[in-house]
Amino acid sequence: MKTAKTTPALSLITLTVAATLALGTGAALAQAKPLAGQTVKLMWIDPLTGLMGPVGTNQLKTQQFLAEKFSASNPAGVKFEVIGVDNKLSPTESLNALKSAIDQGIRYVIQGNGSSVAIPLIDAINKHNERNPGKEVVFLNEAAVDPDLTNSKCSFWHFRFDGDTTMKLEAMTTFIKGQPDVKKVYLLNQNYSHGQQVARYAKEYLARKRPDIAIVGEDLHPLAQVRDFAPYIAKIKAAGADTVITGNWGSDLSLLVKAANEGGYTGKFLTYYTGVTGTPSALGTGGAGKVYQVAYAHYNMGGQMDAYMKDFKAKFNDDLYTGAVIRQFEVLGAAMAKAKSTDPVKVAFAMEGLKVKSAFGGEVEMRKTDHQLQQTLYITVWQKADAKNPYSPENTGMTLAPVATYEPYVSSTPTSCQMTRPAS
């Protein structure tokens, strides 16, 4: 048997090919993770104390939990670090926190609990960025849903990952259109921009889709100040309402449904935030088949969303319900990879029009016109957890099960945004 001999020339060719392949692989890896090793700090500004503190506490845990998850896997290769600041639901405290972020060189801020906070934050960020080129800040909105934020007050520096009030009401009223037992509606909302917009657009959309429905009552109450909703439930019952539409969140929803249970109100509730901290426990087994939620996600979506929720529950014995945070990191990581930079100006341009395959709900798109994320919305109903819909929030034995799905082309609403962009 003869042994093949390798000539010097062949050895040189082999080494050259191997080196080329190695360099090519290294270049491909560098291209895939262009910013490997860089840390991106984000400041989260929302309530950690007061009546809305439990919601904020959950959402800060969600931000930091998902920052860790996405630091381990994002196309840019960056590490995310979220720093939380308690704004006490105060615009003044929020502006102080923004100043602190700027002073620390933090270029990305996150907020969502209260459009009453989001509006002054946008104004302040606009002014800062105009006056301080090279030190721009981007605002990532996880939950503030006033339509004005992507219409009359739209800003190049603001990106919303939740669906706005008009999108959710488009889905909700489309659902109501097919519910003949809904005949008398009561509107009960918080007295600030979000609650006012829910009341306004609910009337407008119902008049268009179900003109036979009567609005039998309407109330706006102070945000995060009412501790007993029994008087409101008495008014709702006296008005003969078979359905309540409310954009309430946090304690203002959990105390409302608690009062409804105690007061014997058996009508439907069509809500935005049934799944948020405190409300599942307030409902308990009451409201089964009567309480609905419109949202961009729900507890029983399966896939990667299910994996995140299980890990979160195991770590904190709490429920991950702010799925907008997942999309925030999905879009941010993809935009940084596209821009090959963490610079806020370059990343903001890269986010415009960006489409990503989300961990849940299919493809989403950050609409360039107004920076409103286009996404599927779901109507879910409060019911007993079962084999098909097993996730039980706050260990209630109940869940939110999907009953209707509205693709982006259904839930999307037009915008009047006239955006001013910086030089790219």
Among candidate residues 377, 383, 386, 385, the one with its CA nearest the CA of residue 404: 377
At 153-177, the pLDDT tens digits run 999 999 999 999 999 999 999 999 9
pLDDT confidence of residue 424: 73
Domains in the chain: ranges and CATH: 39-163+307-313+321-375 (3.40.50.2300), 166-295+377-410 (3.40.50.2300)
SS3 state at 271: strand
Whole-number Å distance between alpha carbons of 342 and 38: 8
Instruction: Give the HSE-up count for residue 125: Cα atoms under 13 Å, Cβ half-sphere.
Output: 31
pLDDT confidence of residue 191: 97
Query: Which DSSP symbol is given to 275?
Result: T
Whole-number Å distance between alpha carbons of 187 and 207: 14
Widest Cα–Cα separation across the chain: 102
Whole-number Å distance between alpha carbons of 192 and 21: 61
214 with 185: CB under 8 angstroms?
A: yes
Whole-number Å distance between alpha carbons of 154 and 255: 33
**Positions in the chain whose pLDDT score sits under 70:** 1-32
400 with 300: CB under 8 angstroms?
A: yes
As given in the structure block, the two tokens for residue 421 are 């962009």
Q: In what order do the strands lie in the sheet with 373-374?
A: 355-357, 363-366, 373-374
SS3 state at 46: strand
Mark 267-285 as b/e (b = at least 16 C-beta within 10 Å): bbbbbbbbbbbbbbebbbe
pLDDT confidence of residue 34: 83
Backbone angles phi, psi at 384, to 5 degrees: -70, 135
Contacts of 371 (CB under 8 A, 6+ apart): 150, 154, 155, 156, 158, 159, 160, 351, 352, 419
Whole-number Å distance between alpha carbons of 365 and 222: 35
Query: Based on C-alpha coordinates, what's the Rg of the chain?
Result: 24
Backbone angles phi, psi at 327, to 5 degrees: -70, -35
Backbone angles phi, psi at 248, to 5 degrees: -55, 150
As given in the structure block, the two tokens for residue 379 are 């109507």
Residue 372: CB atoms within 10 Å: 29
Strand partners, 92: none
For the question of whether the overall pTM of this predicted structure is more than 0.75, the answer is yes
